Chain A
Amino acid sequence: AQSVTQLGSHVSVSEGALVLLRCNYSSSVPPYLFWYVQYPNQGLQLLLKYTTGATLVKGINGFEAEFKKSETSFHLTKPSAHMSDAAEYFCAVSVTGANNLFFGTGTRLTVIP
């Protein structure tokens, strides 16, 4: 079975500070991993994804994530937070044999001016 755990339902950072949003997965087979962002009253938009190859993945808006198999993690980072980064972020996993993405419970990011 596969599942995703996002540690911290709310994260607050100051503008210009490092953003770190945590995601751990549980999967018995190699997973595909995704980060989505949801701005208020909107749908989900893909930030980045890991499939195979390079474990450090760069996405849109300056975000990146690193796949660490030994830690079963796929944490999302951004060196310097902007006010426009305030949103909810979801980590998701897909595995061979499953047709759907399985989502974490989300982390709401607040950026303090």
Chain B
Amino acid sequence: NAGVTQTPKFQVLKTGQSMTLQCAQDMNHEYMSWYRQDPGMGLRLIHYSVGAGITDQGEVPNGYNVSRSTTEDFPLRLLSAAPSQTSVYFCASRDGQMNTEAFFGQGTRLTVV
């Protein structure tokens, strides 16, 4: 039972480079989200999706794009990496019920130099 799988686990980018963080879940969950975790700031929502073909912005969406072509996958794209995007990124999935928990991937630690 894989749950939520994120790749890569670690990545170093140069300023201006682009990349895609991959996220896949095998629980048939409707909701998927991307968070970033920074010291002292908890988890902040970047983008989320309530189903295939539907995405929306969260609290800190600038500099990131997402798409949801299938239920299973929810990639996060950094268009032109900046040092301010150095962070740990977590993907999460959740079924459609409000009283259920989110399941998290193991995270991607991104450094932009």
Contacts and interface: CB of A to CB of B under 8 A. Distances in A.
Decide if A and B are genuine partners: yes
Interface of A: 6, 9, 32, 34, 36, 41-46, 49, 51-52, 90, 92, 94-96, 98-106
A103 B42 contact: yes
B105 interface: yes
A81 B34 CA distance: 32
Contact of B41 (A41, A100, A105): A105
Most B CB contacts (10 A, CB to CB) among A6, A34, A49, A103 go to A103
Interface stretch (B14-22, B60-68, B79-87, B95-103): B95-103
Nearest to A44: B104
A61 to B, nearest CB: 16
Given A43-B106, A43-B107, A44-B104, A95 B98 contact: yes
A53 to B, nearest CB: 11
